[in-house]
Amino acid sequence: MDNTERLPVGRRVAYWRARRRLSQQVLADRLGPGPGRVPLVEAYRVTASLLMKLGAPDVAWLAVDRAMAAATGDRVSVAAAGVQLGQVLRESGRARVARSVMLTAAYRIAPPVPEDGDPAELSLCGTLLVQAALAAARDGDDRTAAGLIDEAVEMAAPVEDGHDHHRTGFGPTAVELARVIVQTELGNAVHAVTWHEKVITRDGWRWLPVEHRAAYLIDAARAYLHADDPTSAGRVLMEVDRIAPAEIRHRPAGRHLLTQVARDPAAPTALVHHAATFGVG
């Protein structure tokens, strides 16, 4: 038996926390300040994102933990790993904690004057603010969510559309897409779909990575469904299947939404057939 099992619970927790901090520091010392740390952090970030898509936030937490450990001592890498941390916390039902952690991370990397900031760091800061806004919306705090989106707009202006710094896809269009998701989370589906239809006419929409667009369209379809427009929800899901089929064929959130839309009497016939082909509905 591990000798720590004989310790009181409080001391046992403290022991393992201290051991974890030590292992993180050892890893950081081994990696040093050189470029070797960045690929490792990015690998863990990609792993965490994939696990989130597969509906496994508990396992994704392990990848995020490794990413944060590898990033220790590098403020930019910590901020990058923080993006996935916010996603995991929010999807694990800890929205209030996610908001607090994301704001702390964002303000640590925020430049004094956004207009003079480095675009890559602005992208991280703005993305963290967006994550905080989504967490606030999940918690039902509409005022905080709106204020954080407005802050992200300021960060996005100097970055402009068409970039993908630190795999964030951050820019003015990405922030407005987040505003749509925030409104959906808050139950304002009609407003969300109205804003969605405006945002996707921007040039910046076409410049976003395909994965970013497809993942967002899942949320847009959800907004249409909540606005009692299953026909438009079905049309959006068909577009997702065209540009990134895995988002609805293998991602649990996409399959669940496809099932909901396909069961509606007003669902497009083509979508119903699609759902049957994928074994959902």
- Token digits of residue 254: 């996409």
Model pLDDT for residues 101-132, shown as the tens digit of each residue: 999 999 999 988 878 889 999 999 999 999 99
Q: Please write the tens of the pLDDT for every residue from 228-238.
A: 999 999 999 99
In this prediction, residue 179 carries a pLDDT of 97
Mean pLDDT of the chain: 86
Within its chain, how far is the Cα of 94 from the centroid? 14
Which tens digits make up the pLDDT trace of 242-257? Answer: 999 888 888 888 888 9
Predicted model pTM: 0.83
Residue 42 and residue 81 in contact, taking contact as beta carbons nearer than 8 Å: no
Q: For 56-92, how does the pLDDT look when each residue is reduced to its tens digit (9 = 90+)?
A: 888 899 999 999 999 988 999 999 999 999 999 999 9
Using a 10 angstrom Cβ sphere, with 0-12 exposed, 13-18 middle and 19 or more buried, the burial of residue 129 is buried
Vertex 63 angle, CA 60 and 67, to 5°: 135
Position 25 confidence tier, pLDDT thresholds 50, 70, 90: very low
Is the pLDDT confidence value at 12 over 80? no
